Amino acid sequence: MICFPNAKINLGLNIISKRPDGYHNLETVFYPIGLKDALEIVPSDGEENYRFFQTGIEVRGNTDDNLVIKALRLISEEKEIPNIDIHLLKKIPFGAGLGGGSSDAAFMLKLLDYTFSLNYTTTQLEQKAAKIGADCAFFIRNKPAIATGIGNILEEIELDLDNYFFVLVKPDVTVSTKDAYATISPAAPKISLKEIIKKPVSEWKELMKNDFEPSVFKKYPEICKIKEQLYAKGALYASMSGSGSSVYGFFEKETDVRFDNCLVWKNKKL
């Protein structure tokens, strides 16, 4: 059985307050996009509980730390899962603010549930996903949502951006989320994102902010330059996604954009 975990972008990101547990309360809008990995599980003839095969963008580090494997182990604590081979084709870049690892984990939970008829409810899958990562639960329903708390409290919203041309640019830079948080001064926004997204996209530029941008742009001016170039090309709205390093823009019409030493993904449909 195969599935295709997709990326997300953040529409606005307000860091509201620091929590006693060391995390931060935030407000953001998660919006799914069509950039996808491929994840497959098949019966294994091996003696191990699982074998993990990975292609595409290299996933570094210990396999046991991969979020796909963490999802498998979370399910295996409760259910009997036969030996399987796991194949992950990685296309969503790391350190980009696109949630690729979280998406892989959430889709693994759904894939196991469907393949082995585990009969988990959507709410139960969301609860399990939240144990893996703060934004992981979003990918269970995989619909536009306002996220609060640490990104784990989700409220679905009606938002359709399919009529806009979309450009995503990933420079050859990886931003540490931990470092991005280090220089943030939390503050409640003057206008809630829930109100901003009701307005035309053409008004978002003056209203919707990503609180990570000032510190990340200072350290990586090349990311700031990408945003400026997207606006120069006529973007109605452009922003860094999450803590970076990817930057996206929405356009009214198809636009020829070129960036050196960057991954550029563009599609009319998100």
Read off the CATH number of the domain in which 169 is found: 3.30.70.890
Report if residue 21 sits inside a domain.
Answer: no
Query: CA 140, CA 144: separation in Å to the nearest integer?
Result: 12
pLDDT at 15 over 80: yes
The pair of structure tokens assigned to 199 is 């307005």
Tell me: do 86 and 170 sit in the same domain: no
Query: What's the pTM?
Result: 0.94
pLDDT tens digits, one per residue of 86-142? 999 999 998 899 999 999 999 999 999 999 999 999 999 999 999 999 899 999 999
Tell me: do 84 and 174 sit in the same domain: no
Predicted confidence at residue 216, as pLDDT, reads: 93
**CA proximity to 175, closest of 224, 140, 102:** 224
Tell me if the bond preceding 245 is cis, omega within 30° of 0.
yes
Report if residue 9 sits inside a domain.
Answer: yes
Q: How many domains does the chain have?
A: 2
Q: Name 150's Cβ contacts closer than 8 Å, sequence gap at least 6.
A: 19, 23, 24, 25, 26, 134
Query: CA 212, CA 234: separation in Å to the nearest integer?
Result: 23
pLDDT at 260 over 90: no
Catalytic residues, by residue number, are 8, 135
Q: Give the domain-ending residue among 106, 141, 176.
A: 141
- Which residues form the domain of 7? 2-16+32-141
Mean pLDDT of the chain: 93
Read off the pLDDT band of 268 (50, 70, 90): low
pLDDT at 269 over 70: no
CA 131 vs CA 63, 127, 249: distances in Å:
18, 7, 32
Tell me: do 80 and 203 sit in the same domain: no
Q: Determine which of 167-181, 188-202, 239-253 has the lowest per-residue pLDDT on average.
A: 167-181
Predicted confidence at residue 270, as pLDDT, reads: 61
Tell me: do 191 and 86 sit in the same domain: no
Report if residue 151 sits inside a domain.
Answer: no
Q: For Cα atoms 160, 124, 178, give the angle at the middle one, nearest 5 degrees.
A: 70
